[in-house]
Chain A
Amino acid sequence: MRIAICVKEVPDPTAVKRIDDGSHRLVRSGENTLNPYDRHAIEAAVQLKEGPAPDTEITIVTMAPESAGRSVDRALAQGGDRSIHIADEAAAGSDLLGTARVLAAALKRESFDLILLGQQAADSECYVMAGLVAELLEVPCITQAASIALADGSVTVKRQVETGYDTVKAQLPCVVSVSDAINDPRYPPLPAIMGAKRKPHEVVTLAELGIDASTVGAAGAATSVGGLSKPAGRGDTIVLEDDGTAAEQLLAFLVEKKVVA
Chain B
Amino acid sequence: MAGIAVLCEVQSGEVSRGSIGVLEEAGRMGAALGVSVDAIVCGSGLDDAKLAALGGFGASTVRVADDALLASGIAQPVVDACATAQEAGDYRYWMAAASIMTADAMAGLAARLGAGIVIDAVELHVEGGALVTRRSGLGDSVLAHCGFVSAVGVVVTRANAMAATEGNGGTAPVERFAPTFRAWSQAVTLVGHEDAVETGPDISAADVLVAGGRGLGEASGFSQIEELATAFGGAVAATRAVVDAGWYPYSAQVGQTGKTVTPKLYVACGISGAIQHKVGMQGSGTIVAINKDKNAPIFDYADFGIVGDLNAVVPQLTALVKARA
Task: Judge whether A221 and B316 touch: CB under 8 Å.
Answer: no
B136 proximal to A (CB < 8 A): yes
Encode contact with A along B56-68: 1 for CB under 8 Å, 0 otherwise.
0000000000000
A140 proximal to B (CB < 8 A): yes
- Within the complex, which residue of B241, B286, B295 is in contact with A257, where a contact is CB–CB below 8 Å? B286
Within 8 Å CB of B142, what residues of A?
A: 19, 228-231
User: How many residues on B have C-beta within 8 angstroms of the other chain's C-beta atoms?
Assistant: 102
Task: Judge whether A242 and B306 touch: CB under 8 Å.
Answer: yes
User: How many residues on A have C-beta within 8 angstroms of the other chain's C-beta atoms?
Assistant: 84
* Of listed B100, B153, B250, residue having the most chain A CB within 10 A: B100
- Within the complex, which residue of A142, A222, A246, A251 is in contact with B321, where a contact is CB–CB below 8 Å? A251
CA distance A19 to B105 in the complex (A): 30
Query: How many whole Å from A107's CB to the nearest CB in chain B?
Result: 13
Query: How many whole Å from B132's CB to the nearest CB in chain A?
Result: 6
Query: How many whole Å from A119's CB to the nearest CB in chain B?
Result: 9
Within 8 Å CB of B187, what residues of A?
A: 139-140, 170-171, 174
CA distance A242 to B145 in the complex (A): 38
* Of listed B101, B244, B276, B307, residue having the most chain A CB within 10 A: B244
A111 proximal to B (CB < 8 A): no
Within 8 Å CB of B265, what residues of A?
A: 254, 259-260
Q: Which chain A residue shows the least CB distance to B275?
A: A125
A96 proximal to B (CB < 8 A): yes
Task: Judge whether B303 and A238 touch: CB under 8 Å.
Answer: yes
Once A161-B257, A222-B114, A229-B143 are accepted as A-B contacts, the answer to whether A132 and B107 lie under 8 Å apart by CB is yes
Query: How many whole Å from A48's CB to the nearest CB in chain B?
Result: 18
A207 proximal to B (CB < 8 A): no
A190 proximal to B (CB < 8 A): no
CB contacts under 8 Å to A, within B280-300, are 282, 285-288, 293-295, 299-300
A2 proximal to B (CB < 8 A): no
Task: Judge whether B145 and A140 touch: CB under 8 Å.
Answer: no
Within 8 Å CB of B241, what residues of A?
A: 179-181
Task: Judge whether B188 and A167 touch: CB under 8 Å.
Answer: no
CA distance A160 to B195 in the complex (A): 10
Task: Judge whether A225 and B144 touch: CB under 8 Å.
Answer: yes
A163 proximal to B (CB < 8 A): yes
CA distance A163 to B147 in the complex (A): 33
Within 8 Å CB of B11, what residues of A?
A: 162-163
CB contacts under 8 Å to A, within B17-47, are none
Task: Judge whether B114 and A97 touch: CB under 8 Å.
Answer: yes
Encode contact with B along A174-192: 1 for CB under 8 Å, 0 otherwise.
1000011110000000000
Within 8 Å CB of A164, what residues of B?
A: 193-197, 250
CA distance A139 to B203 in the complex (A): 40
Task: Judge whether B116 and A222 touch: CB under 8 Å.
Answer: yes
Encode contact with A along B292-325: 1 for CB under 8 Å, 0 otherwise.
0111000111111111110011001100110010
Name 5 extra pairs, CB < 8 A, besides A224-B148, A227-B145, A239-B299. A224-B147, A229-B143, A239-B294, A239-B302, A240-B305
Q: Which 9 pairs of residues, A with B, have the shortest CB-CB distance? A: A242-B308, A131-B107, A222-B116, A181-B244, A167-B192, A135-B111, A222-B150, A128-B107, A247-B316
